[in-house]
Amino acid sequence: MRLRSVYQALISGNTKLAVVGLGYVGLSVAMEFSKHVQVIGFDIDEKYIRAYRNGVDPTNSVGEEIQSASVEFTSDPTKLREAQFIIVAVPTPTTEDRSPDFTALMEASRTVGEHLALGAIVVFESTVYPGVTEELCAPMIEQTSGLKCGVHWKIGYSPERINPGDPVHTFSTIRKIVSGMDEESAGEIQKVYDIAVKAGTCLVSSIRTAEAAKVMENSQRDVNIAFMNECSKICDKSHIDAQEVFTAMKTKWNALDFQPGLVGGHCVGEDSYYLLEYAKKVDCDTPVLSHGRQTNEAMASYVADRAVQEMLAARKDLKRATVLIWGFTFKENCSDIRNSKVADLITRLRTYQIEPIVTDEWANPDAVREMYGIELAPFEELPLADCIIVVVGHRAYQSIAMEQLLKMYKNNLQEAEKILLDVKSIYPLEELTASGLRFWRL
Ligand SMILES: NC(=O)c1ccc[n+]([C@@H]2O[C@H](COP(=O)([O-])OP(=O)(O)OC[C@H]3O[C@@H](n4cnc5c(N)ncnc54)[C@H](O)[C@@H]3O)[C@@H](O)[C@H]2O)c1
């Protein structure tokens, strides 16, 4: 069956676009589309809906723009019937044993199916591996709607690439991969995204291709970061400054600009597990991917161990030393605390009977307590330290002058007894060297 043009209906105001799942991704998508067409924003979390309606953005992804939002925010799923273009952006995390967790995806598909309008196009943006959209989501929508995919409604996939905390790479400025189940749906989906994505779209030939592109681009980052972590460890053993090596490497025209670090968050740190699961399904051996993932998983412990080694070298009593951790979110200038590797760092420090004091002005203290059982301390109330581990390169930490940093240590310490682990290398090497601090960086 040929569907009436959903694109035409949208731009002429005869139908609405709905976004299902209004977190970091969904809110940005809904807000951007609402500048062009009528948008319904649906989420099961009433707290989020209340906040958005009150002009508050707890995700920090659109900031004050939320105050002038024209999105119709709702937790009433029956509103979805008014939309003929539905975008699903619900979480796709992993379980404790690191298997893909499709619970939210299946629940969202069920809801979409229960309220599906005839002739609608449903596009999934959640990160998955090839086959999930057509083999899991479509059947669930068919089952709950009683409508046949490809006959009464159509399906597509367009992976999301937004970069939280990055004002340059946003929903409308990143080129968007789009795909549909057939030529007609692919064309409609591309036209609809072209309304809001200034950077344009990249149409691929199948939904499976688009699914693979997303999970592989993030896994590519994971593996490359793992290699930089290994290089950094080799340099550490050799008393060579890894950052100086990486800067020198980058003078070559084809060098890759990756940095070592703790890989957390909801994307890069999780997506490789989706690809590993898929590789298993198609019986493909992936030693680079699996070892890369293991390397990155072990980095938080590595940093903790290095902190302990530095403290022992400075003759600290580990049980009595005051260890501060600056930063808890998975990356700089962003409030997202999911899959934070700082929690692993703390767990490892505790095995040495060290109870660090953690601060992060970007993270919501209640959310950190609820998710990890960790209390955050306000930065201004931090005690004077023996050891400071700067894990996240938030702007506020970068702007601290060396003179001020030195004053954050206990008064009775010699410079060489003041320990700094600058995990993200945010302080200039010359200043660190001149300060006399005992410092280490990745
Ligand atoms: N956060 C990112 O920067 C980013 C970037 C690219 C891709 N992604 C991918 O996009 C997807 C969404 O990620 P996110 O970071 O926005 O997640 P999120 O957790 O911030 O938001 C998801 C929202 O979905 C809602 N939700 C859960 N189940 C629902 C249901 N059944 N019906 C309606 N709403 C429901 C939640 O309440 C939440 O508000 C994931 O697959 C993620 O991997 C995320």
DSSP 251-284: TSTT----------TTTHHHHHHHHHHHHHHTT-
Query: Which CATH number describes the domain made up of 6-205?
Result: 3.40.50.720
Query: CB neighbours (10 Å) of residue 361?
Result: 17
- Catalytic annotation present for 137: no
Quote the ligand 1 centre to 24 CA distance (angstroms). 7
Quote the ligand 1 centre to 265 CA distance (angstroms). 12
User: Is the C-beta atom of 108 inside 6 A of ligand 1?
Assistant: yes
Which atom of ligand 1 is nearest to 104's Cα?
28
Provide the pLDDT for residue 1: 53
Q: Using an 8 Å Cβ cutoff, are 117 and 148 in contact?
A: no
Q: Give which of 415, 417, 426, 422 is closest to 440, Cα–Cα.
A: 422
Question: Which are the contacts of 347, defined by CB distance < 8 A and separation ≥ 6?
Answer: none
User: Is the C-beta atom of 44 inside 6 A of ligand 1?
Assistant: yes
88 conformational bin, left if phi > 0, alpha if psi -120 to 50, beta if neither: beta
- In a 13 Å sphere around the CA of 63, the CA atoms on its Cβ side amount to 8
Residue nearest to atom 10 of ligand 1 (CA): 126
- In percent, how much of the chain has pLDDT > 90? 95
Query: Which CATH number describes the domain made up of 226-441?
Result: 3.40.50.720
- Sign of the torsion formed by the C-alpha atoms of 184, 188, 194 and 197: negative
Provide the pLDDT for residue 258: 97
pLDDT < 50 stretches in the chain: none
Query: CB neighbours (10 Å) of residue 2?
Result: 6
Quote the ligand 1 centre to 90 CA distance (angstroms). 4
Residue 304, classed as helix, strand or coil, is helix
* pLDDT tens digits, one per residue of 32-79: 999 999 999 999 999 999 999 999 998 888 989 999 999 999 999 999
- The Cα 196–Cα 38 span in angstroms is 12
All structural domains of the chain with their residue ranges: 6-205, 226-441
- The Cα 211–Cα 133 span in angstroms is 8
User: Is the C-beta atom of 91 inside 6 A of ligand 1?
Assistant: yes
Same fold, 6-205 and 226-441: yes
Provide the pLDDT for residue 60: 85
* pLDDT tens digits, one per residue of 234-285: 999 999 999 999 999 999 999 999 999 999 988 998 999 999 999 999 999 9
Residue nearest to atom 32 of ligand 1 (CA): 108
Residue nearest to atom 28 of ligand 1 (CA): 104
- The Cα 364–Cα 367 span in angstroms is 5
Q: Give which of 126, 23, 19, 20 is closest to 367, Cα–Cα.
A: 23
Ligand 1 mutation target, pool 25, 71, 112, 336, most atoms within 8 A of CB: 25
Which atom of ligand 1 is nearest to 59's Cα?
20
- Sign of the torsion formed by the C-alpha atoms of 406, 407, 413 and 419: negative
